């Protein structure tokens, strides 16, 4: 689900190759290629799609997708700085400060708005001095991009007002929960807030943010099965699972990622304990000869023997956890699929070695969400 799954796989792969056989020239070539790919997308967005959220790559026009706030610009902002483009970083920071407006009657995904808008603005805010921006007095606890991030995050808070503490999937930026909103949210949609919301609390002292994010994590934790697994979709009002497939990929992925990264970022033993427990259950029930499959969360039997492109973050997360040997073996499995097809299919059937049909709706995934 995360926009950078494939990038992470690529980076982990490059990292492993480094130790072995990549020459300085090769590293430089891939670095330039990565930059060129970014600017191809970024400049094309500016030329054909701005101020809409996203570029439609075939018709070369723009469209609003997850909101109506030039989402690609917010998404790209920190990347500009990582690529060393301080002048463009400054130009876009200023442009967003002057034009971004969240007081709108639109229904948005709570998850996507958090990871892309709130996360993107917070990263840019924290990186601003390195981007040559003259920061306000009181930075990092003050600043225009921080105020925008808090404004956006505040509009997501009504979603968390449920009996379980787990959020609705959609919120109207002006009016709160839309009247006919379904109470069914995917696991990642419940458990992917602690990094951004915890950062807002750390910077502003406003405890509401970390409290709702932690509450949602406790809600998921309390909902795990007797085997210690979580499913794919849950009713956030009744607390009943509506999709009981347990896996590491689509609909779940960033939940595990945020437990570990949140645990590290905030030195939280509670989050690390949750991650540790899930990690051992995932190894026990989901792992089949270095692949990870989907199983029934209550019974443990395999429901889908498939590898998903969105699983690609997993070896990176294992590496962060220090489980290097298994990470490298699983990465080799994933890379064998890449080598075979020239890219990874969205769903790949491990038993037959074929892509899973019926997933052609959006061939340029992994950009689309849940
Ligand atoms: C920064 O990005 C802008 C827009 O793509 C481009 O015109 C400019 O050349 C870039 N500058 C550097 C230093 O890469
Ligand atoms: C938001 O969703 C609700 C249904 O829950 C609908 O009635 C409303 O028109 C939607 N608002 C917009 C701006 O699309």
The ligand 1 atom at the shortest distance from the C-alpha of residue 43 is 5
pTM of the model: 0.91
Mean pLDDT for 71-80 is 94
Please determine, for residue 272, whether its predicted confidence score (pLDDT) is greater than 70: yes
When comparing pLDDT for 16 and 210, which is higher?
Answer: 210
Nearest CA to ligand 1 atom 14: 85
The pLDDT, as a whole number, for residue 361 is: 62
- Answer yes or no: is the C-beta of 50 below 6 A from any ligand 1 atom: no
* Per-chain mean pLDDT for the chain: 92
In this structure, of 16-25, 67-76, 127-136, 233-242, the range with the lowest mean pLDDT score is 16-25
Mean pLDDT for 35-59 is 96
What single DSSP character describes residue 162?
A: S
Q: Measured between alpha carbons, how far is residue 365 from residues 115, 329, 339, 347 in Å?
A: 17, 25, 18, 11
Give the dihedral sign, CA 220/232/365/340. Answer: positive
Ligand approaching nearest to the C-alpha of 107: 2
d(CA 52, CA 39): 18
Please determine, for residue 369, whether its predicted confidence score (pLDDT) is greater than 60: no
For 64-217, strand residue ranges (E) read 107-109, 170-172, 184-186
Q: Which of 85, 86, 92 to mutate to test the pocket of ligand 1 (most atoms within 8 A of CB)?
A: 85
CB 310 within 8 A of CB 366: yes
Please determine, for residue 2, whether its predicted confidence score (pLDDT) is greater than 50: no
Mean pLDDT for 182-201 is 98
* CA 179 to chain CA centroid, nearest Å: 27
Please determine, for residue 368, whether its predicted confidence score (pLDDT) is greater than 80: no
Nearest to 194 by CA among 172, 213, 175, 176: 213
The ligand 2 atom at the shortest distance from the C-alpha of residue 172 is 1
The pLDDT, as a whole number, for residue 53 is: 95
Cis peptide before 318 (omega within 30 of 0): no
Ligand approaching nearest to the C-alpha of 67: 2
When comparing pLDDT for 344 and 365, which is higher?
Answer: 344
The pLDDT, as a whole number, for residue 162 is: 98
List residues bridging with 347 in a β-sheet: 308
Mean pLDDT for 216-232 is 98
Helix 253-265 vs helix 194-204: angle between axes, to the nearest 10 degrees? 30
Structure tokens at 198: 């915890």
Q: Cα of 89 to ligand 2 centre, how many Å?
A: 34
- Answer yes or no: is the C-beta of 42 below 6 A from any ligand 1 atom: yes
d(CA 236, CA 220): 10
Let me know how long the chain is: 370
Please determine, for residue 3, whether its predicted confidence score (pLDDT) is greater than 80: no
Q: Which residue has the tokens 């220090």?
A: 322
Residue 25 catalytic? no
d(CA 12, CA 35): 17
d(CA 166, CA 331): 32
- Answer yes or no: is the C-beta of 174 below 6 A from any ligand 2 atom: no
State the catalytic residue, choosing from 54, 112, 257, 346: 346
pLDDT tens, 136-166?
A: 999 999 999 999 999 999 999 999 999 999 9
| DSSP per-residue string spanning 201-265 | HHHH--THHHHHHHHHHHHHHHT--TTS---SEEETTT--EEE-EE-SSTTTHHHHHHHHHHHHH
Nearest to 268 by CA among 361, 184, 329, 202: 202
Q: Which of 104, 178, 180 to mutate to test the pocket of ligand 2 (most atoms within 8 A of CB)?
A: 178
The pLDDT, as a whole number, for residue 356 is: 82
Helix 71-82 vs helix 119-127: angle between axes, to the nearest 10 degrees? 30
- Answer yes or no: is the C-beta of 88 below 6 A from any ligand 1 atom: yes
């Amino acid at each position: 689900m995360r926009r950078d799954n494939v990038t992470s796989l690529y980076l982990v792969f490059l990292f492993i190759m480094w130790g072995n056989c990549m020459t300085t020239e090769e590293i430089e070539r891939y670095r330039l290629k990565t930059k060129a790919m970014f600017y191809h997308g970024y400049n094309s967005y500016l030329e054909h799609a701005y101020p809409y959220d996203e570029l439609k790559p075939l018709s070369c026009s723009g469209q609003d997708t997850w909101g109506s706030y030039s989402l690609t610009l917010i998404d790209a902002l920190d990347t500009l700085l990582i690529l060393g483009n301080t002048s463009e970083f400054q130009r876009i920071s200023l442009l967003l400060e002057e034009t971004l407006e969240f007081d709108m009657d639109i229904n948005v995904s709570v998850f996507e708005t958090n990871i892309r808008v709130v996360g993107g603005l917070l990263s840019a805010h924290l990186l601003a001095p390195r981007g040559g921006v003259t920061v306000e007095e009181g930075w990092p606890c003050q600043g225009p991009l921080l105020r925008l991030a808090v404004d956006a995050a505040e509009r997501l808070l009504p979603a968390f007002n449920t009996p379980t503490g787990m959020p609705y999937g959609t919120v109207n930026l002006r009016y709160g929960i839309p009247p006919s909103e379904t109470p069914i949210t995917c696991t990642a949609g419940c458990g992917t807030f602690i990094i951004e919301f915890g950062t807002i609390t750390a910077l502003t002292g406003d405890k509401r943010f970390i409290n709702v994010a932690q509450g949602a994590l406790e809600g998921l934790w309390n909902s795990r099965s007797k085997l210690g697994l979580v499913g794919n979709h849950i009713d956030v009002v009744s607390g009943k699972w509506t999709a009981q497939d347990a896996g590491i990929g689509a609909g779940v992925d960033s939940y595990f990622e945020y437990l570990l990264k949140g645990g590290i970022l905030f030195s939280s033993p509670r989050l690390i304990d949750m991650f540790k427990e899930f990690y051992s259950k995932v190894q026990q029930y989901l792992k089949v000869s270095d692949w990870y499959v989907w199983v029934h969360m209550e019974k443990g039997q395999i429901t889908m023997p498939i590898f998903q492109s969105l699983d690609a973050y997993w070896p990176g997360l294992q590496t962060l956890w220090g489980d290097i040997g298994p990470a490298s073996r699983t990465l080799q499995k994933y890379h064998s699929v890449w080598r075979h097809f020239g890219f990874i299919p969205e769903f790949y059937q491990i038993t037959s070695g074929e892509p899973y049909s019926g997933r052609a709706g959006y061939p340029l995934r992994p950009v689309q969400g849940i």
